[in-house]
Amino acid sequence: FIITSDNKTLAEVAKEKGIPEEDVDPADVKAAVIHGSMLKEMSANDIDDILANHEEIVFARTSPQQKLIIVEAFQRSGQIVAVTGDGVNDSPALKKADIGIAMGIAGSDVSKEAADMILLDDNFASIVTGVEEGRLIFDNLKKSIAYTLTSNIPEISPFLV
């Protein structure tokens, strides 16, 4: 797991203060690693609290159902959620996410059908390129519509009067 040095985990804060982990104030911790076995025992409110109080979170060894729970929790908190996946087990989370991204080479047919975007080269850098090109197309469409409206309204106005 990679967590930046300025966002300490609960274990690091406990070690720094020389106290047991259970005595650490959760407000002092900026990063968290949540294992699937821990996630099983958490309520929706517990997950919402983790999302609200931690800047960096790693969810590890999660089941397909837990991935879906994580997506729903982020959406409840008002976040736009993107999920990447390549297997059949990722399909529910890919479908539920605001944007599901499947792997084109290693991905299963089920995950590709559930996804909104397919990375043909399985390269995460392609996501950035795709978003940039999508924004460019959107900007060009807005300009085209604005031009069409401004040039056609004067042509139609004599017939409306």
Nearest C-alpha neighbor of 59 from the set 15, 93, 88: 93
Give dist(CA 104, CA 108) in Å, integer. Answer: 8
Q: What share of the chain is helix, strand, coil (3-state, %, to 5)?
A: 60, 15, 30
pLDDT in tens, 4-61: 334 566 677 677 778 787 777 766 777 788 888 898 999 999 999 989 988 888 888 8
- HSE, side-chain direction, 13 A CA sphere, residue 127: 13
Q: Is the pLDDT of residue 133 over 70?
A: yes
The token pair at 53 is 């109080």
Q: Is the pLDDT of residue 95 over 90?
A: yes
pLDDT of residue 109: 95
Contact 116, 84 (CB under 8 A): no
pTM across the whole model: 0.71
Please give the C-alpha separations between residue 146 and each of 118, 135, 149, 158, in angstroms, as whole numbers.
31, 17, 5, 20
The token pair at 4 is 């930046």
